[in-house]
Amino acid sequence: MKKLEERILHDGNVLGENILKVDSFLTHQVDFSLMKEIGRVFADRFRESGITKVVTIEASGIAPAVYTAEALGVPMIFAKKAKNITMTEGILTAEVYSFTKQVTSTVSIAGKFLSPSDKVLVIDDFLANGQAAKGLVEIIRQAGASVEAIGIVIEKSFQSGRKLLEDDGQRVVSLARIEKFENGKVVFGKADA
Ligand code: G4P
């Protein structure tokens, strides 16, 4: 997605070896007009797939996911990272290990929001090692629902996430694919949309 790549080049900051900071439009402050376009691009791509739910994980997946859900006219569900006292029964959970933070956390979705007839589009802001998306796939499978595809806003292709998901039979569609960071600059590979 050309507009997204241009925005990354303009406003993204490379931190250290492998982190891209995009807090001015995606992970902290949110540019709703860009998110809306991202939602439209994902929706156009999956309009014929019969998607019934969009699933993401809090926090930064929510913005692109909600606009994708709006464009498809389906509900958006976000997995929660903290245990919530109002979530009392029928909770589906998965363990997610964060290489960045080196901690394992339990993520959850109330089972009542997913059913075996659901065809789910998973959306997330970043694909790095793929642990978050893997956890979401696990939860969706526990509900007996199917994962149609995984839509990613920014993929870091030099990390192992895509391989992990594709080896599990998932279809991954990324709007921007970062091949490498070179002298503090982003180098893109060919995106999927
Ligand atoms: P994984 O989900 O692909 O396995 O990624 P990893 O464990 O490496 O990353 C953990 C967290 O760091 C995730 O957010 C992920 O989106 C984020 N992340 C990974 N690489 C980058 C990057 O280059 N830039 C930025 N800005 N974030 C990155 P989180 O902390 O779990 O969630 P959130 O609450 O920030 O959304």
- Determine the average pLDDT of the residues in 179-185: 96
Residue in 123, 130, 74, 145 with CA at minimum distance from that of residue 100: 130
- Residue position matching structure tokens 């070896």: 17
Q: Could you tell me the two tokens for 182?
A: 């070179």
**Which residue among 56, 100, 156 has the greatest number of ligand 1 atoms within 8 angstroms of its CB, and so is best to mutate?**
100
Question: What distance in Å separates the CA atoms of residue 67 and residue 39, rounded to the nearest whole number?
Answer: 5
Q: Determine the pLDDT at residue 99.
A: 81
Instruction: Provide the phi-psi class of 90: left if phi over 0, else alpha when psi is between -120 and 50, else beta.
Output: left
Q: What is the pLDDT of residues 5-52, one digit of tens each?
A: 999 999 999 999 899 999 999 999 999 999 999 999 999 999 999 999
Provide φ and ψ at 32, rounded to 5°. -65, -30
Question: What distance in Å separates the CA atoms of residue 131 and residue 134, rounded to the nearest whole number?
Answer: 5
Ligand 1 closest atom vs CA 101: 10
Question: What distance in Å separates the CA atoms of residue 163 and residue 43, rounded to the nearest whole number?
Answer: 24
Cβ–Cβ < 8 Å for 181, 159: no
Instruction: Place 101 in a pLDDT band, splitting at 50, 70 and 90.
Output: confident
Q: Could you tell me the two tokens for 52?
A: 């019934």
**Which residue among 101, 102, 126, 174 has the greatest number of ligand 1 atoms within 8 angstroms of its CB, and so is best to mutate?**
126
Does ligand 1 come within 6 angstroms of the Cβ of 155? no
Q: pTM of the entire structure?
A: 0.96
Question: What is each CA distance from 63 to 24, 178, 180, in whole angstroms?
Answer: 13, 21, 25
What average pLDDT does the chain have?
96
